[in-house]
């Protein structure tokens, strides 16, 4: 059931992404509306998939922990985008969002062949709290990552005077920068809370708050990196191109760390 | 029943003539009533903007109606009707329909795709309905027109791209800043270009202007008109940090805005960008300024290039728009043709005969033991009842045809009897006749 729903929502996200890309190319606003509709439909199906895992973890194929995390990440990114788009007119932004959501969801929509390793059971309050907080934080950073990439591309275009009709359909630079700030402002506290709840979870299992496990070390590296970015932005008033690079770099490290330690 | 349009626009008439023929945009009602006094004009509306004056009307006899409309225009404006003739265009029937669709979609405008014209058509229509000058045909036509204009806008993206230098500048600014409302613009120079741009910025919601010019009086004249403050040309660098947009057009000076003060200004702004629009030749802004972080410099050639690119893609969109308009025109003509008396009468008769036939056959199936003669008599009777009942209304309709009330009766019959003439063979033939 999970995989069926995940596949359906992956298809919807892909369709949404294509629809918004068509809008960017030809400028027909109908494609934006279609894109939003498809995103919402995909989001609902994905919500169904997630609810299914939480409530009816019966027999049959079950997603691996990484797949669960990735599903939730896609869900959070799309949800955040829909929330943000209520406040900011950022229609063109839906294209990278939808495509990222598609890739993540697609990854999680086919059962992994059992490797003989017993899947660790993650149940209880602290593990769930830890996962949700950390993943929403990660989703926000993913959002900032996309905003950063768009910022860099658009800024390059503006500087080199290569503006074309598609350029005029993208969000303004200042909005992309604002989105980046907002994501950092909300994402960092969430990541911090995610780390705290994670430590509590570990301390219940291992009796210590910190065990120097690889993913803990990576989490610490990521966290320090984002604290550094926040410092630069809020105390050194860094913005624009450099802040965009920071957001891109931060997310690459965060995701790279997460996957390499989980997949080991 | 014919739709026709008589008018002139920026292509057919010079501005002196357009001015003479213009009607006050908000007072279209009373001239319209004078137009409707002539017997041939059944419905009418008047459209008047700075680029065009048009009369859109419906008539029974087209030749007479055209004459009296031209005479009306000449009389209203005290012009010689023969002299006027050279500037006027006339569209009749399907051509008139597609002309109106094109006008409302901005396809006939000086700047193709400009959006204001739709609002002007809407206002003209609402003034016409206020004086009850529109009937079935114009109501339907104008509602179709608004749909078409909306569709053209949303499906072709034609209005979304800026094509004039000032609007390109403002649209580029919109891609940099979250919004342009409430921004500060520093104007260097006070010539005509700057004045135009200033007007455009104010229209777009810029709230604060600073003006620096070689002659202070000229700058003060601009601030008197638009508000804002005059600053000395020498202290421009000092004012850079508060400027979001700098528009410069001082001729005969070499580049006097250097990278160093701009870098300082951006630092003071906490990294917020400054957009330089340099329309002076030779340029006022040093080319190296564009290499600074958060500084963007567009000179007149850059702006023209963007405008040209947008013009090209507007032309592509225009081709798409034409096909939308064509489709809508064919639809509308099909509807117009249903308003004819003859097909309506014929369909009504067919419908009634169908019932007579069906009912008599049903009866005959139940009566097995009757002779062929008797069967014929029953069929005959059913037909006769239908013919008798339809005879009088049909005569009435023929009498009414050509009169003012004709359309209302046809519409009523189609409604009451659910007669749909759109599929009739005659309509298909007539539709082929259109253009």
Note the pLDDT tens digit of each residue in A58-113: 555 677 777 788 888 888 889 988 888 887 767 778 888 898 899 888 888 877 65
Average pLDDT of chain A is 82
pLDDT recorded at residue B35: 92
Q: Which chain A residues are closer than 8 Å to B171 by Cβ?
A: 168
- Angle formed by the axes of helices A173-206 and A240-263, to 10°? 30
Residue B429 tokens, joined: 């033939």
* Strand, coil or helix: B78: coil
- pLDDT tens column, A155-193: 998 888 888 777 888 888 888 888 888 888 888 898 888
Q: Which residues sit opposite B55 in a β-bridge?
A: B6, B46
- pLDDT tens column, B345-399: 888 888 899 999 999 999 998 888 889 899 999 999 999 999 999 888 888 887 7
- Angle formed by the axes of helices B300-338 and B136-156, to 10°? 140
Q: CB A165 to CB B294 under 8 A?
A: no
Q: Phi, psi at residue B27, to the nearest 5°?
A: -125, 60
* Strand, coil or helix: B276: strand
Residue B169 tokens, joined: 């500048």
Cβ pairs bridging A and B (under 8 Å): 72
Out of A165, A174, A238, the one facing B310 most closely (by C-beta) is: A165
Residue B313, chain A, CB below 8 Å: the answer is yes
Q: Which chain A residues are closer than 8 Å to B293 by Cβ?
A: 240-242
Residue A26, chain B, CB below 8 Å: the answer is yes
Residue B426 has pLDDT above 80, yes or no: no
Q: A40 CA to chain B: closest CA distance, Å? A: 22
pLDDT recorded at residue B402: 64
Q: Which chain A residues are closer than 8 Å to B157 by Cβ?
A: 26-29, 165
Decide if B50 is catalytic: yes
Residue A168, chain B, CB below 8 Å: the answer is yes
pLDDT recorded at residue B296: 92
Residue B132 tokens, joined: 């009850």
Measured between alpha carbons, how far is residue A170 from residues A37, A80, B69, B174 in Å? 19, 18, 49, 10
pLDDT recorded at residue B111: 67
pLDDT recorded at residue B422: 54
| Residue recorded with tokens 């189609």 | B414
Is the pLDDT higher at B435 or at B95? B95
- Angle formed by the axes of helices B165-176 and B192-203, to 10°? 50
Name residues whose C-beta falls within 8 Å of residue B159's C-beta, 6 or more positions apart in sequence.
Answer: B106, B113, B114, B115, B153
Q: B283 CA to chain A: closest CA distance, Å? A: 17
pLDDT recorded at residue B314: 75
Cα(A216)–Cα(A198) distance, integer angstroms: 9
- Chain A nearest-CA residue for B308: A164
Tell me what the mean pLDDT of segment A216-221 comes to.
82
Residue A190 tokens, joined: 């969430």
Cα(B409)–Cα(B193) distance, integer angstroms: 59
pLDDT recorded at residue A2: 78
Residue B316, chain A, CB below 8 Å: the answer is no
Q: CB B154 to CB A173 under 8 A?
A: no
Residue B427 has pLDDT above 50, yes or no: no
Q: For a pLDDT cut of 70, what percent of chain B falls above it?
A: 93
Q: B285 CA to chain A: closest CA distance, Å? A: 15
pLDDT recorded at residue A56: 61
Q: CB A165 to CB B178 under 8 A?
A: no
Q: Which chain B residues are closer than 8 Å to A163 by Cβ?
A: 172, 175, 306, 309
* pLDDT interval class at A115 (50, 70, 90): very low
Cα(B289)–Cα(B261) distance, integer angstroms: 10
Based on the number of CB atoms within 10 Å of its own CB, is B394 exposed (0-12), middle (13-18) or buried (19 or more)?
Answer: middle
Is the pLDDT higher at B92 or at B407? B92
Interface test with B, best of A26, A157, A168, A238 (most B CBs within 10 A): A168
Tell me what the mean pLDDT of segment B145-154 comes to.
90
Tell me what the mean pLDDT of segment B416-434 comes to.
51
pLDDT recorded at residue B77: 86
Tell me what the mean pLDDT of segment B64-82 comes to.
88
Cα(A33)–Cα(A35) distance, integer angstroms: 5
Q: CB A158 to CB B172 under 8 A?
A: yes
ipTM above 0.95, yes or no: no
Residue B167, chain A, CB below 8 Å: the answer is no
Residue B113, chain A, CB below 8 Å: the answer is no
- Chain B nearest-CA residue for A161: B302
> Catalytic residue among B50, B111, B160, B330, which?
B50
Average pLDDT of chain B is 84
pLDDT recorded at residue B396: 82
Q: Which residues sit opposite B56 in a β-bridge?
A: B5, B45
Give the residue among A204, A203, A196, A215 at the shortest CA–CA distance from A254. A215
Residue A223, chain B, CB below 8 Å: the answer is no
Cα(B103)–Cα(B105) distance, integer angstroms: 6
Listing DSSP states for B360-421 in one string gives: HHHHHHH--S--HHHHHHHHHHHHHHHHHHHHHHHHHHHHHTTSTTHHHHHHHHHHHHT---
- pLDDT tens column, B239-290: 899 999 998 888 777 788 888 999 999 988 888 899 998 887 778 888 889 8
Is the pLDDT higher at B116 or at B151? B151
Residue A32 has pLDDT above 70, yes or no: yes
Out of B172, B176, B293, the one facing A241 most closely (by C-beta) is: B293
- pLDDT tens column, B195-227: 877 877 887 788 888 998 888 888 888 888 888
* Strand, coil or helix: B60: coil
Interface test with A, best of B157, B288, B295 (most A CBs within 10 A): B157
Q: CB A30 to CB B154 under 8 A?
A: yes
Chain B, 118 to 157: residues with Cβ < 8 Å from chain A are: 154-157
Residue A117 has pLDDT above 50, yes or no: no
Residue B319, chain A, CB below 8 Å: the answer is no
pLDDT recorded at residue A113: 53
Residue B429 has pLDDT above 70, yes or no: no
* Strand, coil or helix: B133: coil
């Amino acid at each position: 059931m999970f995989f069926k729903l995940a596949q359906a929502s992956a298809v919807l996200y892909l369709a949404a992404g294509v629809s918004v890309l068509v809008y960017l190319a030809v400028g027909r606003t109908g494609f934006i509306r279609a894109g939003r509709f498809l995103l919402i439909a995909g989001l609902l199906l994905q919500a169904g998939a997630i609810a299914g895992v939480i409530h009816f973890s019966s027999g049959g194929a079950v997603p691996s922990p990484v797949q669960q995390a990735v599903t939730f990440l896609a869900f959070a990114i799309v949800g955040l985008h829909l929330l943000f788009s209520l406040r900011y007119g950022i229609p063109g932004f839906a294209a990278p969002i939808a495509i990222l959501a598609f890739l993540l969801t697609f990854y999680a929509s086919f059962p992994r062949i059992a490797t003989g390793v017993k899947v660790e059971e993650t149940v209880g309050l602290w593990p769930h709290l830890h996962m949700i907080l950390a993943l929403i934080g990660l989703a926000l950073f993913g959002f900032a990552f996309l905003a950063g990439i768009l910022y860099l591309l658009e800024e390059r275009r503006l500087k080199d005077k290569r503006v074309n009709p598609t350029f005029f359909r993208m969000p303004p630079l200042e909005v992309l920068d604002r989105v980046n700030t907002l994501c950092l402002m909300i994402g960092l506290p969430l990541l911090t809370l995610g780390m705290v709840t994670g430590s509590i979870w570990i301390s219940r299992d291992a009796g210590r708050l910190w065990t120097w496990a690889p993913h803990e070390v990576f989490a610490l590296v990521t966290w320090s990196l984002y604290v550094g970015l926040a410092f630069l932005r809020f105390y050194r008033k860094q913005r624009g191109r450099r802040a965009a690079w920071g957001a891109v770099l931060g997310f690459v490290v965060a995701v790279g760390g997460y996957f390499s330690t989980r997949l080991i | 029943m014919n739709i026709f349009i008589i008018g002139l626009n920026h292509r057919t008439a010079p501005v002196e003539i357009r001015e003479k023929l213009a009607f006050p945009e908000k007072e279209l009602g009373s001239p319209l009533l004078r137009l409707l006094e002539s017997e041939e004009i059944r419905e009418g509306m008047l459209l008047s903007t700075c680029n065009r004056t048009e009369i859109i009307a419906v008539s029974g006899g087209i030749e007479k109606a055209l004459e009296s409309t031209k005479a009306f225009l000449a009389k209203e404006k005290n012009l010689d009707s023969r002299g006027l003739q050279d500037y006027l265009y006339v569209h009749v029937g399907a051509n008139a329909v597609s002309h109106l669709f094109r006008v409302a979609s901005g396809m006939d405008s000086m700047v193709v795709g400009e959006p204001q014209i739709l609002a002007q058509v809407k206002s003209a229509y609402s003034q016409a309905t206020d004086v009850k000058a529109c009937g079935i045909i114009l109501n339907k036509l104008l509602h179709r027109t608004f749909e078409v204009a909306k569709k053209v806008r949303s499906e072709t993206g034609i209005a979304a791209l800026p094509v004039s230098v000032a609007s390109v500048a403002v649209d580029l600014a919109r891609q940099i800043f979250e919004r342009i409302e409430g921004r500060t613009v520093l104007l260097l120079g006070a010539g005509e270009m700057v004045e135009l741009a200033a007007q455009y910025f104010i229209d777009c919601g810029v709230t604060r202007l600073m003006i620096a010019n070689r002659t202070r009086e000229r700058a003060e004249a601009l601030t008197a008109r638009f508000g804002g403050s005059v600053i000395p040309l020498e202290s421009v660098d000092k004012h850079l940090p508060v400027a979001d947009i700098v528009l410069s057009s001082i001729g005969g000076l070499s580049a006097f805005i250097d990278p160093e003060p701009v870098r300082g200004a951006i630092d003071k702004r906490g990294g917020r960008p400054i957009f330089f629009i340099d329309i002076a030749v030779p340029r006022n802004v040093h080319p190296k300024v564009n290499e600074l972080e958060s500084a963007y410099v567009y000179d007149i050639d850059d702006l023209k290039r963007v405008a040209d690119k947008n013009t090209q893609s507007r032309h592509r969109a225009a081709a798409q728009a034409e096909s939308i308009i064509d489709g809508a025109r064919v639809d509308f003509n099909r509807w117009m043709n249903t308003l004819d008396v003859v097909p309506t009468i014929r369909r009504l008769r067919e419908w009634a005969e169908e019932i007579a036939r069906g009912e008599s056959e049903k009866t005959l199936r139940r009566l097995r033991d009757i002779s062929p003669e008797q069967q014929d008599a029953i069929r005959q009777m059913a037909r006769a009842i239908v013919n008798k009942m339809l005879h009088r209304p049909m005569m009435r309709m023929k009498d009414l045809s050509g009169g003012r009330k004709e359309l209302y009766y046809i519409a009523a019959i189609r409604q009451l009897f659910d007669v749909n003439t759109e599929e009739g063979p005659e309509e298909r033939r007539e539709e082929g006749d259109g253009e």
